[in-house]
Structure 1
Amino acid sequence: MFTPPLALASLSGEADAGWARAGAAHAGAAFLGGIALDDDAREAARKLVARDRNEFLPADPLRFVDRQLVALADAEIQPAFNVRSTTPEPIVEAARVCRDRDAFLEINAHCRQDELCAVGCGETLLRDEPRLREFVERAADTGATVGVKVRAEVLGVDLPALARTIEDAGASFVHVDAMDSESVIADVAEASDLFVIANNGVRDDATVREYADYGADAVSVGRPSDNPAVLERVREAVDRRLGSAFELDAGTR
């Protein structure tokens, strides 16, 4: 899906085209965003900003997505955009933008901030399988490459079953924040044929090896994604531990 099988994970308000370019020497993909698309999600993002969190709040979020992807058109990295919405229509529009710019669309079913959950964004989608399925189906129907960012350790959520649901709906990948339950990667990998990106605590050879042993197809780096020393160390580990995936996918990006 991308080579090398190392991704930069989205950081709200920080993960833009410049950030992606800075990491392109080490990573095969960069997930920009997240960005709030519809009115309710944007209002929640404003509340997050009011309590000193970083958020992208451009006047026109779809134009922002498009301009950021244009800025990466000649970059040696696979672009993707992490998006939040309470309704499917803006996700469909974002999917079309991503499709036309050869980027992946990542639906955010991950963020757990109270403001976002209160309007039905982020983590709440994990507990609302019919709505998440609709989001994935409609986005995938545009012809875009679609995936979902999910979180482990959410009470009452069966991630392997959810992986099968989103695969049936047309998703190509799942990006799993394993939290402190790293073995969930094995459960998700065994449950579906989705491309599995493992996230959380990826810093060195030991963490890459653990996720590789659990069956991850790729790993992603979050907070240290702007630290070249960490990225270099993780890239070396990825080449060692996920080398077969690297060789298999070589030349596909």
Structure 2
Amino acid sequence: MPEDRPTSDLFQPRVALASLSGESDAEWARAGSDHAGAAFLGGIALDEATREAARAMVERDRTEFLPADPLAFVARELDALADAPIRPGVNVRSATVDPVSEVAAVCAERDAIVEINAHCRQAEMCEIGCGEALLRDADRLTEYVSSAAETDATVSVKVRAEISGVDLAETARTVEAAGADVIHVDAMDTESAVERVSTAAPGLFVVANNEVRDRESVREYLRYGADAVSLGRPSTDVRVRRRVRLAVDEWFAADGG
């Protein structure tokens, strides 16, 4: 790992559980805390535009969290993890910036990570400027990150590789300058995207996601410069969590931490 990579321990072990729409709640995070150091709850639709989009997605058989009061729901879920051996985060979507600042303040009070979703590819979210659409709009993404960072919350941005017209290395530099601490990269089928991001923004803690299953996949991402890996669908499989945790521990023990 290059000397200018982040050395502080954002979470230990360096395995995260990535948000699963409508499934990733406090109970899910606690169940995965045996082998993970962080868990991103959500995603949570914060404002009326994203909540309307989420309702439309539910109507076509998607699963979404739609609590009556999103901020109160986030606070309750985080409070439920106050004594859990895992650092929580919350993946959020909003078509407007104010709710991002508000939820970031809730996270800051609880030492939780707020994760801005610039990743979702569902048409309903993209049409209102969320998810991938936010990834394509550097000015808005910068505004979201800056607003969250002003609350002193730890800020993550979840992004996706292989988006036409999007330079992830430049995105990483942009969000780092805006105050982000973490970039959570869904590499899709381009694992080398992690290397471009980690090189472009050496101050960001890089979490690599996509097809993390075993020792080989863990080592590939860490060789590309990731500081941690995350599990998506396999987050509920204790066998996969155990394999990934062992591989991560092995890597960092050999690397000296």
> What interval of TM-score do these two structures reach, taking the shorter chain for normalisation?
over 0.9
Q: CA deviation at 1:70?
A: 0.3
3-state DSSP class of the match of 2:40?
strand
Q: Which residue of 2 aligns with 1:22?
A: 31
- Write the letter of the residue equivalent to 2:171: L
Give the alignment of 1:64-103 within 5 angstroms: 64-103=73-112
Q: CA deviation at 1:74?
A: 0.2
Extract unaligned runs of 5+ from structure 2. Answer: 1-9
Correspondence 1:190 to 2:199: yes
Give the alignment of 1:98-137 within 5 angstroms: 98-137=107-146
CA distance in 2, matches of 1:244, 1:82: 32
Q: Which residue of 1 aligns with 2:213?
A: 203
Correspondence 1:173 to 2:173: no
Of 22-31 and 235-244, the range deviating more from structure 2:
235-244
Please give the root-mean-square deviation of Cα atoms over the aligned residues, in Å: 0.9
2:226 pairs, out of 216, 239, 246, with 216
CA distance in 2, matches of 1:124, 1:118: 8
Does the 8 Å contact 1:10/1:34 carry over to 2?
Answer: yes
Give the alignment of 1:221-236 within 5 angstroms: 221-236=231-246
Q: CA deviation at 1:241?
A: 1.9
Aligned residues: 247
Q: Which residue of 1 aligns with 2:51?
A: 42
3-state DSSP class of the match of 2:42?
strand
- Write the letter of the residue equivalent to 1:168: A
Alignment deviations for residues 17-62 of structure 1 (CA, whole Å, 9 cap, x no partner): 0000000010000000001000000000001100111100000000
CA 65–244 in structure 1, closer or farther in 2 if over 3 Å, else same: farther
Normalized against structure 2, the TM-score is what? 0.95
Identity %: 64
- Write the letter of the residue equivalent to 1:195: F
CA distance in 2, matches of 1:106, 1:159: 17
Q: CA deviation at 1:244?
A: 6.1
3-state DSSP class of the match of 1:44?
helix
3-state DSSP class of the match of 1:174?
strand
- Write the letter of the residue equivalent to 2:176: E
Alignment deviations for residues 205-252 of structure 1 (CA, whole Å, 9 cap, x no partner): 00001001101000000001011111011111111123367x64xxxx
CA distance in 2, matches of 1:147, 1:7: 12
Extract unaligned runs of 5+ from structure 1. Answer: 249-253
Normalized against structure 1, the TM-score is what? 0.96
Q: Which residue of 1 aligns with 2:169?
A: 160
